[in-house]
Structure 1
Amino acid sequence: MKRVAKILLGVLGVLILLIVAAAIALPLLVDPNDYKPQINAAIEDQIGREVDISGDIGLSVFPWLGVELGRVSVANADGFGDEPMATAQAAEISIKLLPLLSREIEVGTVGLQGLNLRLARNADGRTNWASISEHLTRNQAESGNGESPAESEPKNDPAPDDGGFSLSSLQIGAIDIRDAAVSWRDATTGADYRASGVKLVTGRLTDGEPVRLEFGGDFEAPEAALGGEVSLVAQVEPSIADQFYRFSDLSLNVIASGEAVPAGRQQASLTGAGEFDVDAGRFKLSNMALQAAGLNVNANVDGSDLGSDAAAYSGRVTVKEFNPSTVMRELEIEPPATQRDAALSTAGFDAQFEAGNEHVQFKQILATLDDSSVKGSARVEDFAQPAIGFDLSLDELNVDDYLP
């Protein structure tokens, strides 16, 4: 019996060595660049759009099943110009082989360099990616039972016990997108937005585990005479299966410039934390702090029934004490000349609020201006034709201080 066991173990060891040797030798024996026409044709058949892989294709098999692409482009739709809809200078993705035996998906770093994505809508309201979506839908219907996706029964992701892969088994080493550019032109509205130098970098992505996210880039809206820079860093904890997302340590910085910006240049920063429950249509923003133009605004906001007529928002907003004259100068507004030099030197605001799609109400208002204080409540109904109501009390006001 021991002899049989030794033979079986020996055979198994030889098989493993052969598999490893084949995995190492395969990229050396097979050059995927020899099959570019077939690869292009297969992708074109799936998306219904001409694809050109003009760069080299690299292939690795063990321990990672990986693909590296050089320059690749996807043609634009008819009527949207000769430039490709999308190009990328380099891309890479890899999947570890051995975890697949345990029905786990372990993806290495997903890299994308030099992406240039041109999105557009023509005067008829049709986008340049609509035909791709339609082609994919058609292929899905034809490869199934002949029914359209709307007619077919929804299929749940197979559970690990059924021999499939679950979302919780997905692990991604990281996402690394650099030097990307995205543009959006809408012929129906005249909108023209562009982003360049875009970077999106994450740490290891595992469902239910926190991950650091970095995003940044330059933006431009030529028609609005607006441009600037944006950078974002946050700790994100996704639960994809539950459609629940939490973020913390948010740091968002925006520098806006151009003719449309007061004084030609303004800077704003936002910090805070929050969570978003997609299925429940609920979000919560905590300890949000905005700094801009000499103002410091703190807020806590809860939202529920999002996307419905019953959407509701509530929370508290506080504008810390500030100098109104200084803020006006920051926004290139000349403060009015007043009889009292110290007029318009201090102000503040604090209130709780409740809001819906057609109303907003402020409660427990405490607003200050110099030596005056206002307390009470205010409400606006029907934003299209506003009906304004208020119940406010003013303790004192020396009007002479604010006369010319």
Structure 2
Amino acid sequence: MRRFLTTLMILLVVLVAGLSALVLLVNPNDFRDYMVKQVAARSGYQLQLDGPLRWHVWPQLSILSGRMSLTAQGASQPLVRADNMRLDVALLPLLSHQLSVKQVMLKGAVIQLTPQTEAVRSEDAPVAPRDNTLPDLSDDRGWSFDISSLKVADSVLVFQHEDDEQVTIRNIRLQMEQDPQHRGSFEFSGRVNRDQRDLTISLNGTVDASDYPHDLTAAIEQINWQLQGADLPKQGIQGQGSFQAQWQESHKRLSFNQISLTANDSTLSGQAQVTLTEKPEWQLRLQFPQLNLDNLIPLNET
């Protein structure tokens, strides 16, 4: 037993010494410029990192940054900005001065999907090829670029289409994982407070981005939601369901299929699609196998 404990202590000392030497010998700021260039070359977004990068050893070997932002080309506002970012990296590649990112963690982020954050293409800019622009393999020596996991916590999502009113989703928690073919799974939860009403939503599913940005499909395997507040029944409205969604960039079309939703004791099924032209065009094919308006619309008290 004593020999086992002695061996364990020796291994622990070697591990601590190795990590300490690694932190001293490898400066995470050496990767800063290369990260910025690779993000710009592969996605067209401008990554900005404020402050020095630093190591965080326990419980996961990570690189910590201060404020960060991600801005599309020509956009007036960043698509993503966060107070801090954490990159969980693999240990062994660092021994040969290589960086392999396993997970990106953003906390306190603000994600804006608004006209101000969209890329502005100049008139003489070349048209991108039809092929998928997502990288499949890295041709750069000593660099593992694809992120297998993304985690967002305590964040805000702002959505706005054209001149419509902004919708803000707070308390966002997002966990995404993907394989080398850009197919993955995700979990999302958030809260919307608007017009004295409170909507809480959570969902999980799978996504296929192998042909992004030309085509993006997702299967929402489970969605749960609850709506409470003004002009609603006292018990509120809650439900669950599932559906499939597809975005077609060439047609600017968002489609929903195999819709199956519940709201209190009412049920909804069918399909829908919207084409985002100057005036959005909707096509709906919905059925209500069971509909109880008494539990959806509050009765006027006299």
TM-score, length-scaled by structure 2: 0.59
Provide structure 1 residue ranges, at least 5 long, that are not aligned to the other structure. 1-23, 61-65, 75-84, 99-104, 138-147, 160-164, 336-404
Aligned counterpart, 2:110: 117
* 1:1-400 correspondence runs (5 A): 27-29=23-25, 31-32=27-28, 52-53=50-51, 57-58=54-55, 68-72=63-67, 86-92=81-87, 94=89, 107-112=101-106, 114-117=107-110, 149-154=122-127, 167-169=135-137, 171-182=146-157, 194-207=168-181, 209=183, 211-221=184-194, 224-241=195-212, 243-263=214-234, 265-282=236-253, 284-301=255-272, 306-308=275-277, 316-322=285-291, 324=292, 327-333=293-299
Q: Distance in 1 between matches of 2:212 and 2:48?
A: 35
Kept in 2, the 8 Å contact 1:244–1:276? The answer is: yes
Q: Which amino acid aligns with 2:147?
A: I
Quote the residue 2:75 is aligned against.
none
Q: CA deviation at 1:242?
A: 6.9
1:217-271 deviations in Å (ceiling 9; x for gaps): 22222xx112231101112222235722232353222212222544362213231
CA distance in 1, matches of 2:279, 2:111: 37
CA contact (8 A) 1:109 1:175 kept: yes
Distance 1:106 1:218, change over 3 A: same
Greater helix proportion: 1
**Cα distance change of structure 1 residues 72 and 152 upon mapping to structure 2, 3 Å threshold:** closer
Give ranges in structure 2 of 5+ residues lacking alignment: 1-19, 70-79, 94-98, 139-145
Cα shift readout 1:58-100 (whole Å, capped 9, x = no counterpart): 299xxxxx961244267xxxxxxxxxx94424421658998xx
* SS of match in other structure, 2:240: strand
Deviations 1:259-318 (A, max 9, x none): 254436221323122433323545543321121143111113466xx3348987656422
Distance in structure 2 (CA, Å) of the matches to 1:96 and 1:153: 40
Alignment partners' CA distance in 2, 1:237 and 1:49:
25
**Structure 2 counterpart of 1:28, which letter?**
L
Higher RCO, 1 or 2 (CA under 8 Å, sep at least 6)? 2
For 1:158 and 1:287, the matched residues in 2 are separated by 29
Distance 1:199 1:294, change over 3 A: same
Structure-2 separation of matches of 1:310 and 1:156? 28
Q: Paired residues, what number?
A: 247
> Partner of 1:207: helix, strand, or coil?
coil
1:96, 1:166 → 2: CA distance? 26
TM-score, with normalisation over the residues of structure 1?
Answer: 0.46
1: CA distance, partners of 2:245 / 2:231: 31
Which piece of structure 1 moves more, 239-248 or 292-301? 239-248
